Each structure stands twice: as C-alpha cells, then as structure tokens.
Structure 1
C-alpha cells in the first residue's frame, strides 16, 4: 500500500499492517530528513501519558483504557469493599461474644486493626511506585487478601479452629484459636494495604491527561469509584450483618471471602484492556537525594531558573514522569539543581546525590505543598469517625421501634450515610458539575480544593445538627425524668439529618481528596499520594480517641460523671459535638489560607 506526505520535502514510502492492525512505518529513505507523520498521526494512535499495555507496548488509545477498562476495576473495588465492610462492621461483637473479650478490649482491638488497615497503604504505595507498578501490586496483594479471608472463615467455621460455644453469645476461645483469628485479620490488613492506594490511582491511569475529553472523564471516574465503595458497604452493613447475627459467623465471613475471590477474578478479566504506568524507582531515594544535595550546596547562590540543571531530552529522567516546570517557592532546594564542575562524573554521568534535575526538585516541592492540605483532612476524618462511635451511642438512647414489633439497631442508622453518598454522587456528577462548568469554565465545574472546602463546611453543619439534637433530647430527659429509661420516647430517625449531611460532606471532601492527591502528586508518586489521603482516616480516628480521652479526664474531675458517661442521659455529649464543630471551623479557616497559598503543579509536555 502506498502513501505520501507532502511538506517542505515530499517522498513516497510503503507501510504494512502489524498483527494489531496498526501501520508499521519504515525509516525514511533520506536520513537528513526528519520524518514526521502529518498532524501528529502517531500521537492519535497512542496515549501520550507514557502508559503501556499488558505486553509492555505503547498503549493504543482506541483499544485500551477509558470506560472500557473501568468496569473491571470498579467491580474489583465493589467486591473488595463488600468483603471488608462485611467483615469489619460487626467485628467488635465477634471479639466480644466469640473470642470472649471485654467490651473495652474488643473495641481497642478493632480500632487497632482498622488503623493498621489505613497505615499499610504506605507499604503498598511504595512498592507500586518504586518497583512493581500498580497492576502487579494489586494482583499480588489481592491474592494475599483472599488467603487471609479464607483463613478467617476457617477460624470461624471448622471444629477445633473455631471457638467452643455453649450458646449463641457464650463462647470460649483458646489462645491458639484467637491467634489464628488475628493472624488472618492482619494478613487481610496487609492485603488491603496493597489494594487501597493503588485501585483508585489505577482507575485514573486509564484516562490520558494529554487528552481533554479523557481528562474530564477521569474526574467522573472518582465519583463512580466512591459510589461503588458505598454500594458494597450498603450490602455489607445490611445483608451480611444479618447473616452473621442470624445464620452463622462461618457464612458471615465466608460470603465476604467469596466476594473477594470474585474481586480478583474481575480484576484479572480486564488485563488486556488496562493501561499501565511504569514504576519510576524509589521515590524516597529521589527525595533524599534532593535534600542531601541541597545541604551539600547550602552556601551556593541559586541562579535564575533557566540556569538550573535539567536533562536535554524532551522526557524526564524519571521513568513514568513528565518534566515539571520550575516554581519559586522553597528556593533552598533549588540548590540541588545548581550545576558545579565537581558534579560531573566520568563519561558525562551525573551523581544524583550531588546534582538533581529540576523535575526531581519539584517532586519534593510538590510533596511539601501537599502536606498542609493533607493535615486539614485529619479533622474531617475525626468528624466522620463519629458515625461509628458517638452517633451510635446517642441513637442507642432513642426509640428504635419501626411499628410495634421491629427495632432497628442504632448502628444500622449509618445506612443513611451510605444512601446519602449514593444519592449525591450522581447528583454531583450529572447536575452540579455541568451547571458549575457553564459559570466557571472549569472542566470539572469547580477546582478540587473548592470541592474539598465545600465538604469541610458541610461537616460543620453535621456536627451542629448532632449537637442540637442531643440538646433537645436532654431537655426532654430532664423535663420528663427519663434518666433511667433505656430508650426515651424520641424516634431514632431524628438522627437521619446528621448522617445525611456526613454523607454529603464525604462526596465533596473524600472524593475531592482522592482526585486532588492523585492529580497533584508527582507522576511517579501517585500511589503514594493516594496512600497519604488514606492515612487521614487512620489519624482522624486516633485524633477522635485522643479528644475523648482528654475530655473524659478533664470533665470527670471531682467525681463528676463527665461529658460522655455510660448513661448518656446524665452526660453532655452535645458539648463534644460543639467542640468538634469549633475545631472544624478553625480547620476550615486554615484550609482557606492553605488553598489560597497552594500552587498547582505544572507538568511540561507528554511521555510519548
């Protein structure tokens, strides 16, 4: 087949079709002529963000990625979250009733395990960004997750491995049986550590940043990703909790194990469609190199940005990363990119512990800029943690009846948080974003920081709603002397507004965080960015526990019952909610200052 290209020089060439149906172009007959396809024809075939397919070849735009690959990733996340919440939602009761632990011990063990689940993503993120890539990390840790879930199921169902029970709630576990249970749980914690930071980033990798249409779809992906989490959580907190309470714990853990196995199958099913970013080497090594090189040259004066060292190639020297434009803040670290004669090694190579590229320096700056934004997420996570602690205790003192015979457990009210998320995600994606886009001209309607700020504001309203409800409830208790009633005659459904507001805040802040940390983390550190956003959940839980400890110690002096006694009818939980509201207001003010100061990263060029 013959074709020609007309330009300053016109020549003819022949091309053949490869096995994949794409043209193979030979080198031009005239070496002096720079051979280029007209109008970037090659660019239109392949992605421009450096992604490759499962064989390691450049990813073909029309055959890989975008929404054609996402169902497998979203299916994986749905099943994994179904497994996680199906196991964790009722875990405290399993510890208490089947491992025969005291309430405080069971609660502490669950908190420690959940905290571990949100810290281990740092391990998975490092391995994904540095060595394995996101696909291999998700695959390996998913298999470990299934193994842990299987072991947990066996520990709750096989005679000799499961605790010996006299009755439903009267069981005794040997040390070996408890150890087996905890071994399984911490294998799961390690498994989820490799999945959590990578799945959202891997889904976003399926959309090319260099293509404006795909870039818009990437923002939409994060919304539907979070929706899949909550649909899985909704089924887990309703159906699976019922199975655990009314059928058996063997089935209660077995169904999540099956769901996780389905998650693995779903993920592997899309292998041929995925776009993969190449791992860029250890991000911590690159960060340390910049710091060491900067301190070595602390006496060197920083010249203009144009005089700073950068590779001459169009692509960055860091695998999987675009070049980053120089910024003027944190000028001290620019010293690492000041080139001296002593920096050159034999054969023109460069010692990165003495001389770093501008892109490498900007990687460190990008991480430093992210940290203040990351810190503001901790207070929000502390507010969010109330749905599984004080909101439950508050609801436990209210009337749980639906009709004369049915009672809804206080913990089940969290279903309204999930329903809120399921409601707000499509509303945000299909209504709010298009309307906002008309007024702002921004491709996503509003910026990620604006989205997060709106969520922080809504979380304040949630705390005020909870505080006012408790204030009204306690007034009724005092007025009618309901102090010793297990359930006072005020419907538990008065809690729905605070759960609904928390769910709305999640859609803005948590999803905004996911997208923001993915977009603003350096290209070769995106899993690490996602892991950072997840650690706010762990630290938020720890902050809430710390506040409760401090408040209890201060409010129980002199023999007083304190703000949070065992019988909340004698307490002042609304003070704690008001405290969180005040902290959230201060946090929002700090966020506004940080958002105004923040500089978005400026990548240069593409990776193809």
Structure 2
C-alpha cells in the first residue's frame, strides 16, 4: 500500500519540479493521452509519406529515380533531425517543452504543405491522361512544396525522440507492477503508431486520389492540431524526468581525458577510481553506475593522477560508464542500416509497382496504389497483438525472460524475415515483367500488366510482420540500453537508423541506375517500370540483407546487456520499509545533506 500511495522512486517530478505521488500520475492513465496524440499524429504523417511518391510523379512530374530519391531524402531528414531534438531535450529544455515547441513547428509545416497543394498559384497544373508531355511546375512552386516538407521535418525532429520517451517515463522501474507494464509499453506504443497509419493509408489516401490533395492534406493537418491538444490536456498527469546536461559534451570529456592519460595505469581496485557520493546523484534525480570491465581503456578517464579537477582530465565512474554504454550501441546501430534501407522500399518502389498492375475491385472502384501500405499496417497491428498476448508467454516458459526473448533475438528474427521478403519481392517482380513481355507492354509506361495488384500482398504483409520484430525491438533496445541520463539520445539512435537507411536507398538507387545504364545497357531502374528490371535491385538488397545478418550475429554475440537501474538498487518490492522511507524522503525534501535545494538543480522550463 505504501508503494502504491507513496512518491515515485525513480526521480520523477511534476512540471514545477516537485516530487509526484505514484497513485495520481503516470502509468497507463497518463499514457492514454500520449497514445491518443500518437494515433492522430501518425495519421497526419503517413497521409503525407505513404502517397508522396505519387504526388511527386503525377503532380510535379518527376521520374521514377528522382521521385524515389526525393522521398528517401525527405524521409531520411525526418528521421535524422531527432538527434537535434534529443540534444535540446537532454541539455536545455527537457522533453516536455522541447516536444511542445517543436509541435507548433510541425503544425506550421503541415499548414504550409496544405496551402502548397491547394492554392492555384502554388501548385502545378494538372496533367491529362492522354497528354504525352506534362507542363512542368515552376521553380517557385517546387521550392514552396519542398520548403514546407522540410519545415515539417524540423518539427518532427523535436517530437519523435521525445514522445515515446515521455511515455516510457510514466512507469517507475522501482515498482514491480509498473516495471512489468513498462515491458509491454513499446509493443502497444507501436500498435498506436500503426493504428493511426491504417486510417491514413486507407481513408486519407483514397481522398487524395479521388477528391484531391487539398482535402487529403487538410484533414491530417486538422488531425495534427487535435493530437497536440490531446497531449497538452494530459499535462497534469505526466511524470517528468530532469534534463541531465549536455550528453555529447560528457562523452567527449571521457574520450579526451582517457586519451590524455593513455600512459596512466588503471588501478586494479575499482574503488580507487574517481566517483561522487550517491547523494550527489540523487539530488539531481540520477543514479550512479558501477564500474564494468569492458572498454577498460576509458577507465583511465576516472583514474586519479594528480590534484586536477578539470572534467576534461578527470571524470567520474558514472560518466565513464555512460560513455561505454553509448559506444557499445554503435555496432548494433550500424547493423540496423540495411533493414531500414529495405523498409524504404514500401513508400517508393513497392508503390510504383502497384501503379503498373490492375487495381480494379469491381466495375466502379479502383484501388489507389498508396493504399497498399495499409496491408503493412494491418499486418503490424495483428503481429503486435499476437506477439504481446501469446508469443511472449510462450517464449517465457522456455527462457524465463520477462520479455519472452531478448531484444537482440527479437531483432534478429526480423532480419531473417527481411531477407525472405526481398527474395519474394524479386520473384514477384520478375513474374510481372515476364507477363509484360508476353503482352508487348514494354514500350507503354502507363499500361498496367494484366495481373492483380494483390500479387504484391506477400511482400507488404511480410513487411508489417518484420516491423513487429525489428522496429519495436529496436525502439525498446535503444531506449533501455542507453544510460538513464541519455535516453532521448537513445531514442534518436533508433530514428537515425531509419534516416540513414533512407539516405542509403536514395544513393543506392541513383548509383545502380547510373552504373547499370552505362555502355548501352538497359538500366535496372527506369521511369518506365515496364521496361525496368527492378527484380535485380531487390535481389541485391536480399544479398545485402543476408550479409548483414552475419554481421549482426557477430556483434550481438559480443554485446553485454546493461544492468537495469532498478536491478542495481533494488525494486520497491525488494526494499525494506526503512529503505523506501529514506528514498521517498529524499525526493520529498528535495535537498541533500549540504543544504543544496533540488530547485537549484532542476530546470524544467526552457531557458
């Protein structure tokens, strides 16, 4: 009862920096507002992203490689800018204020985008079906459209790395029930992401194709405004974590100090390394991290070699261990580039394939190719429910792991699915081209092969299935395995894999198209998909995926999981009454033995 009614024991505070009661804040009650936000926000985002390649092709009249490259570049920017948002959150404004301020930039981008496709002076003229040469958009019209896209990308840079992290912060790992709930959080978080995407990939894309892009973009803009309002309503119920200072600066200090003292011998006894008293961390809402034997060279940064107090010469053990944790993530991070490159096909070449297949459902209804992404969403939603409700319990019986299988094992299964997926995509496309040749359609770029678009279903369904393993596992992994003071940066590592994957695909598309088209040869990727040989490109991705599995197996085999803070200090269930009382009193009093007020170390309002 004391655990239920007392203060949280993970350093959580309210927006004014005061300790919060467990019973009145956080948990699924607070997460309901965050999930509500994410559903509407994902609806807005996917309404743009899932059908962007068709807008660039049909309205801005860009070719296959150009439109795919531009979609990849924009999507890459969407997923790279969160590094900036994570840095600002952890160093200056905190997660809540960073998220809130960047949300309004996001809304501005959506409004500008809606105007760019609505006002006659800002959008290019339509191109008729029987017109051989379409009128090009002016430089001004193209510039306004892309400016709006990249304003939107800046806005998402401050929201993406912070919203899911705010959600995970609503569960206190020192309380057993909340710790168990947190294990399921990322599964249901991704469920909300794809639930919003489902509406966008069906209803909104249909509106874009049948009614027009002004309405098709206006509705998600309204949805985004609603999502931010929902988030703000939940403000009194959230638990907040304190910003911990410049994470990149702390990492740099450790590396510089270790290099400067490369000749210094690390003491055999870890107790001789430099470290602050635990109360110094508790006063700042943090917890110390014990020394570990990995990356021993960095321990030189915490080795005392004189009276110096410069942080560029002497760092604490906790600071060194935080740096070790981030460096350990790099090989796994690199292993996620190729899966993200494969994921980039969904919004580019997969949709392009759908444009040259029969999409009729009955005599009066034509299936928009952009709606094919809905099958990824449906597959993802079903897979997450099955995984969380059935597979976890099944795996748990054999492994004893609360998650069923480890996070790396979960991601590894997804990598295998990736390879199978691209092999199937290559075989399907080869079959389509065979039918195109049989009917003499190679010289007709706008003619659809006499095949139903639903032959693409296996690759779309498998993509959703792999997302339930790779994307959820990746988000969970980078959050949990990052230092507690750098979890926004950890979440940004998750997003940057998606951004880099899109940039790799953009570069790979251009390179492959150029190289294979030299010396009179037919390029693998042409504006005319009926004359292209995209199946070779898919086969190349399958080979890269297989090689990446080998790399992943090596680096995951060497990876040592971080010890959870709650395990290191004991959960509230494991603490005796005296320990609980002391810890709760520390948070309640907000002061250390030297009389330093917690108010002087907490800053939740942006400077």
Normalising by structure 1, we get a TM-score of: 0.86
Check 1:447–1:314 CA distance in 2 against 1; reply closer, same or farther (3 A cut): farther
Answer yes or no: is 1:285 the counterpart of 2:246. no
Q: Which residue of 2 aligns with 1:25?
A: none
Q: Per-residue displacement from partner, 1:411-432 (whole Å, max 9, x unpaired)?
A: 3222211110111111111111
Pick from 223, 234, 240: which aligns with 2:204? 240
Q: Which residue of 1 aligns with 2:105?
A: 144
Q: Which residue of 2 aligns with 1:379?
A: 338
Pick from 416, 430, 434: which aligns with 1:457? 416
CA shift at 1:110, angstroms? 3.5
Check 1:84–1:500 CA distance in 2 against 1; reply closer, same or farther (3 A cut): same
CA shift at 1:226, angstroms? 1.0
Q: How does 1:178-257 map to 2 (within 5 A)?
A: 178-257=142-221
Check 1:235–1:453 CA distance in 2 against 1; reply closer, same or farther (3 A cut): same
Answer yes or no: is 1:134 the counterpart of 2:95. yes
Q: How does 1:423-462 map to 2 (within 5 A)?
A: 423-462=382-421
CA shift at 1:577, angstroms? 1.8
CA shift at 1:360, angstroms? 0.2
SS of alignment partner, residue 341 of structure 1: coil
Q: How does 1:250-399 map to 2 (within 5 A)?
A: 250-304=214-268, 305-314=270-279, 316=281, 319-343=284-308, 350-399=309-358
C-alpha contact (below 8 Å) 2:65/2:525 kept by paired residues: no
RMSD of aligned alpha carbons: 2.6
User: Using the alignment, how far apart are the partners of 2:556 and 2:277 within structure 1?
Assistant: 34
User: Using the alignment, how far apart are the partners of 1:176 and 1:548 within structure 2?
Assistant: 27
Q: Which has the higher contact order (CA 8 A, sep 6+)?
A: 2
Q: Can you give the 5+ residue segments of structure 1 that lack an aligned partner in the other structure?
A: 1-39, 344-349
C-alpha contact (below 8 Å) 2:49/2:347 kept by paired residues: no
Moved more, 519-528 or 438-447: 438-447
Q: Per-residue displacement from partner, 1:127-176 (whole Å, max 9, x unpaired)?
A: 1111211111111111222223223334444566x447578898876655
Q: Which residue of 2 aligns with 1:554?
A: 515
Q: Per-residue displacement from partner, 1:165-192 (whole Å, max 9, x unpaired)?
A: 5788988766555544444332211111
Moved more, 225-234 or 498-507: 225-234
CA shift at 1:494, angstroms? 1.5
C-alpha contact (below 8 Å) 2:90/2:243 kept by paired residues: yes
C-alpha contact (below 8 Å) 2:72/2:506 kept by paired residues: no
Answer yes or no: is 1:79 the counterpart of 2:43. no
CA shift at 1:556, angstroms? 2.7
Q: Per-residue displacement from partner, 1:212-257 (whole Å, max 9, x unpaired)?
A: 3212211211111111111211211222223233334332222122
User: Using the alignment, how far apart are the partners of 1:118 and 1:533 within structure 2?
Assistant: 9
CA shift at 1:516, angstroms? 0.5
Q: Which residue of 2 aligns with 1:500?
A: 461
C-alpha contact (below 8 Å) 2:8/2:172 kept by paired residues: yes
User: Using the alignment, how far apart are the partners of 1:171 and 1:557 within structure 2?
Assistant: 29
C-alpha contact (below 8 Å) 1:72/1:266 kept by paired residues: yes
C-alpha contact (below 8 Å) 1:319/1:524 kept by paired residues: no
CA shift at 1:479, angstroms? 5.6
C-alpha contact (below 8 Å) 1:440/1:446 kept by paired residues: yes
CA shift at 1:79, angstroms? 1.1
Q: Can you give the 5+ residue segments of structure 2 that lack an aligned partner in the other structure?
A: 571-582, 588-607
Aligned residues: 562
Q: Which residue of 2 aligns with 1:14?
A: none
C-alpha contact (below 8 Å) 2:186/2:475 kept by paired residues: yes
User: Using the alignment, how far apart are the partners of 1:179 and 1:303 within structure 2?
Assistant: 60
Answer yes or no: is 1:153 the counterpart of 2:114. yes
Check 1:409–1:247 CA distance in 2 against 1; reply closer, same or farther (3 A cut): closer
Q: How does 1:161-180 map to 2 (within 5 A)?
A: 162-163=122-123, 165=125, 178-180=142-144
Q: Which has the larger radius of gyration?
A: 1
C-alpha contact (below 8 Å) 2:426/2:534 kept by paired residues: yes
CA shift at 1:489, angstroms? 2.5
CA shift at 1:571, angstroms? 4.1
